[in-house]
Amino acid sequence: MYIAKPQTDEYTKCVLVTGAVGFVGSHIAETLLREEHVKVVAYDIFNSETTVSEEKKENAAILKETANMYASYGASVHIVHGDIRDKEKLIETIKKYDVTACVHVGGMVDDRRSVTHPEEYIDVNIRGTATLLDALGQCGVKMVVQASTRSVFGQRANNDTYLTETAERRPINPYGASKVGADAMAHCYSHLYKMNVTLVRIFATYGPRGRPDMIPRILIENIVNDKPIRKFGEGTATRTWIYISDIVSAFVCALKNPCNGFAEFNTGAPNSTTLNELIACAEKVIGKKATIDHCPVPPGDAHTVGHPCYDLIKDTLGWEPKVGVEEGMRRTYNHYIQHS
């Protein structure tokens, strides 16, 4: 059961962020520097298959600039090139910087790609997570917030289903299955080392610096540049898109409110959006029609995914999403225009 301890900065003196130059990780690290003024150790492998390595370098530069801007308040960043499967490097890093907490968002992503590369997902997401948590535990770190995903639930026949934290896990691709394993490791190591480990489960997030394989970014870049959109299926697949700043606030809130032992929270938007609705939304925000290339649905792609029930995080930490899809797509488009 979740019992929040009082808000504390005891654990947030030095936060190790895994995947810190990826999409979600870079936003969390940037917010920790800008708003919490802490020391961030940005740990990342830098050469993931599912993002552009140039963009990772740019994200690292953003973290350095932000740390410089808030240095007088105590913010600092140390960029470390490292793999979460490398226990020696992890232990060396944790000791060197005197890490007090970890936000673990690093790992392999992309549901569809995982179907053709299952071994990478199992190795990084399950073995890597176990290696990281074991290293943290051995070094006496007591506070971890770890990313989970709606992909652990797979899909549901009825889109009206509300998925609570205890909903049945029915992954439909190796990515989702590997994250069920990573979630289980979180519980296991919270028990073994008496660490406070909170899972924050993300239901499809998007925003500036978003991943190139995900549809919100594809829509914006391809419509602007007159490139066709590969639309999988009829466009009736649903997602509850949640804007990145809402996800970041869930992670920061969980970090500042340590659980006693293990906790997990579903986070997400209240309304689901079909692929056709998201395409229409992008067209409205950009003011231009998309060119559609109709494609079959790839294996492992979820259709109706239900809704997250986020009552638990709302009731215990007071977290709620604030940014609707149209506003979020507008902000993402504006950022793209300003930076391209």
Ligand X SMILES: O=C(O)[C@H]1O[C@H](OP(=O)(O)OP(=O)(O)OC[C@H]2O[C@@H](n3ccc(=O)[nH]c3=O)[C@H](O)[C@@H]2O)[C@H](O)[C@@H](O)[C@H]1O
Site residues for ligand X per CB under 6 A: 109-111, 149-151, 202-204, 213-215, 218, 230-232, 237, 239, 275, 301-302
Nearer to ligand X, 133 or 202 (CB): 202
**Chain-centre distance of CA 211, in angstroms?**
11
Nearer to ligand X, 177 or 204 (CB): 204
Closest CB 160 distance from ligand X, rounded Å: 18
Nearer to ligand X, 142 or 150 (CB): 150
Two tokens at 3? 């019992």
- Nearest Cα to 271, choosing from 310, 297, 232? 310
Nearer to ligand X, 137 or 308 (CB): 308
**In whole angstroms, what is the distance from residue 13 CA to residue 255 CA?**
11
Closest CB 208 distance from ligand X, rounded Å: 15
Residue pair 136/164 in contact (Cβ under 8 Å)? The answer is: no
Residue pair 205/325 in contact (Cβ under 8 Å)? The answer is: no
Closest CB 294 distance from ligand X, rounded Å: 10
Closest CB 36 distance from ligand X, rounded Å: 25
Bridge partner residues of 201 (DSSP): 148, 266
Closest CB 84 distance from ligand X, rounded Å: 17
Nearer to ligand X, 77 or 200 (CB): 200
Q: What share of the chain is helix, strand, coil (3-state, %, to 5)?
A: 45, 20, 35
**In whole angstroms, what is the distance from residue 325 CA to residue 221 CA?**
17
Residue pair 146/187 in contact (Cβ under 8 Å)? The answer is: no
Closest CB 305 distance from ligand X, rounded Å: 7
Two tokens at 23? 């999409």
Nearer to ligand X, 130 or 214 (CB): 214
